[in-house]
Structure 1
């Protein structure tokens, strides 16, 4: 078995090639001349052939050494790239982040958060895959993504989650008489055509209970899974909707206005990740940045 080559031996070899003497190579590497001689001797022994001939007081690479030179340069360049990548990862300026989320998030709040995050990390790349909640959970269990953003998460032993309760508001077309009120209750919109989430969703059940408690019934007009879809429908004058303030804020000034909804009900958003997959520093830092971006819309705890 051949002795293991070391990067320092290759650096010494290249330094002698470039400078022609052990003394100048030592000055370049900031080590002693005997240390350079030892590195070249060890490399010669490891390779099994002479590396230099002495001509007119200079060390000239042998024919065998010249054949070796391109590989040495490539190897040292690769080591430099590995070192630089390692520094970038440590400093959170490089890496790849895989995110899956609800379709509405992919076209509303999330792109802005990603843009701000990447602006400070030019070496980081992102995969963003929107899909329904069931698919997000499946990908988390299969450890196919670093982070998932979903709602209605009921828990899973292979998934770690952080729940953030987002305030809800009632959205309506700009110019509607509803804009004269500072707060909207079920009785205030009982006569309006309501656009709401699917009846089997936990959010719809909470909304239904709020209407019942106020002594009125929901006047269903359109069911839509995504809050962003509800925003588009309201923008076209098709009715009103009770949705997450996070989504409503994206549409303010675009044909939509909104007011706080009472009683206060939460849109339960969950940040999920595989429990058995060690998160990268980039993943943890993005979770922190995304959570911070939700703070302005989160319901007060307690």
Structure 2
């Protein structure tokens, strides 16, 4: 039985019909090629080439072997291209889960850049609440999850991809746009769009901004992007994460930082027992590049 290296030499000799040319094509010495041909003939028990001067003319048996070896080398070449693509993170699959703020703000921008140089990339992307992201990772349904302020789980690694802050978003003609930052007292008398009970960002605001109190909000929503849409419609001011508020100039809103400042962090999540493959690692790096600065300029026009 011939190995792949022997078959490679055999095929090159047939193509070149001289051991000198075959040696050059294979980056071997001419004696090494000649020795390999003799060894193959001894192993097989029949002649592969007829010698005519310096030329080696393949026998009918050798030509049949050459034709039959085509599928083998096509498969080897395809596999080699696949390995090279994996090494360079140009192909593969990305099974991604993200919470709505990240899914709406960071993922589209990061995916657009990431996929532009990876035409063979296959993406399976779904949007879930934090509980759903964690459940998908723990069950193996996803390779990577991205969430704002996720809770700790023993089997998951949480890697910081960027920090932002909670901000006050309002229409451009709202009286609070005259302020450089927004304190709890300044919100008195203004309609507020808040988060539904138990929402993680709402609990964060309650603890770090409202000093433990839960303000009365005539409108409550589940997600920051919904709050921004309602604020844009003039239904009130929204306290939302900066990732959503400044996402790609999507909303016609003015944004002001809060005082006291409320930090909010975005994390990439993956199983501790399974290190991210190179493609996933590269996408995490792309997500980090997509994170906007957390500190917003006062009165910046969007």
What is the TM-score when the length of structure 2 is the normalising length? 0.84
Q: Secondary structure at the match of 1:288?
A: helix
Instruction: For 1:148 and 1:138, locate their aligned partners in 2 and report how far apart those are by CA, in whole Å.
Output: 10
Which residue of structure 2 aligns with residue 220 of structure 1? 217
Q: What stretches of structure 2 of length at least 5 have no aligned partner? A: 297-302
Which residue of structure 2 aligns with residue 249 of structure 1? 246
Structure 1 residues 98 and 253: CA distance shift in structure 2, 3 A: closer
Instruction: For 2:235 and 2:216, locate their aligned partners in 1 and report how far apart those are by CA, in whole Å.
Output: 13
1:143·1:277 contact (CA, 8 Å) conserved in 2? no
Q: Return the offset for 1:112.
A: 0.7
Q: Secondary structure at the match of 2:61?
A: helix
Instruction: For 1:190 and 1:47, locate their aligned partners in 2 and report how far apart those are by CA, in whole Å.
Output: 92
Instruction: For 1:249 and 1:298, locate their aligned partners in 2 and report how far apart those are by CA, in whole Å.
Output: 11
Q: What stretches of structure 1 of length at least 5 have no aligned partner? A: none
Which residue of structure 1 aligns with residue 201 of structure 2? 203
Q: Return the offset for 1:295.
A: 6.2
| Two-structure CA RMSD over aligned residues (Å) | 2.9
1:99·1:126 contact (CA, 8 Å) conserved in 2? yes
Which residue of structure 1 aligns with residue 268 of structure 2? 271
Alignment partner of 1:29 out of 22, 26, 31:
26
Which residue of structure 2 aligns with residue 14 of structure 1? 11
1:165·1:298 contact (CA, 8 Å) conserved in 2? no
Alignment partner of 2:145 out of 127, 137, 148:
148
Q: Secondary structure at the match of 1:106?
A: helix
Which residue of structure 1 aligns with residue 176 of structure 2? 178
Instruction: For 1:212 and 1:26, locate their aligned partners in 2 and report how far apart those are by CA, in whole Å.
Output: 78
Q: How does 1:184-199 map to 2 (within 5 A)?
A: 184-199=182-197
Q: Secondary structure at the match of 2:218?
A: strand
Instruction: For 1:230 and 1:59, locate their aligned partners in 2 and report how far apart those are by CA, in whole Å.
Output: 78
Number of equivalences: 295
Deviations 1:240-273 (A, max 9, x none): 1101111110264732111111221233433211
Q: How does 1:66-81 map to 2 (within 5 A)?
A: 66-81=63-78
Q: Does 150-159 or 24-33 show the bigger shift?
A: 24-33
Instruction: For 1:273 and 1:19, locate their aligned partners in 2 and report how far apart those are by CA, in whole Å.
Output: 52
Instruction: For 1:291 and 1:75, locate their aligned partners in 2 and report how far apart those are by CA, in whole Å.
Output: 42
Instruction: For 1:36 and 1:251, locate their aligned partners in 2 and report how far apart those are by CA, in whole Å.
Output: 62
Q: Secondary structure at the match of 2:126?
A: strand
Q: Secondary structure at the match of 1:272?
A: strand
Q: Does 11-20 or 121-130 show the bigger shift?
A: 121-130
